[in-house]
Amino acid sequence: MTHIAPSDENNQLIGVPQEQFGVINYAARELGLCMGFTDAPYVTTTEVYPDSPTATNEECILAQVAVITSALNYITTSTKD
């Protein structure tokens, strides 16, 4: 994996207030973003940059896999009765 983009001097990432380190919240449905196309209880989107000089294609693929497996681990451990 690669680094998480730092926020700017206004604590924003791409012009949006950072909620926690590396996390911003978007009005996904209103903006027509992919995670807004579902009513699923857990949604996310990830950004990896294969065109970055500091990230390889393999690192980007592994980052996506890490996100999915981490989400599945979270869901299975946090929703047990």
Could you read off the pLDDT of 13-65 as tens digits, one per residue?
889 999 988 888 888 889 888 888 998 888 877 777 666 777 788 888 888 89
pLDDT surpasses 60 at 1 = no
The predicted pLDDT at position 49 comes to 67
Q: Is residue 46 part of a domain?
A: yes
Domain count, the chain: 1
DSSP 59: H
**Which residue range is the domain that position 46 belongs to?**
12-78
Locus of tokens 């393999």? 58
12 vs 19: CA distance, rounded Å: 9
Q: Is residue 3 part of a domain?
A: no
Q: Is residue 6 part of a domain?
A: no
Q: Is residue 7 part of a domain?
A: no
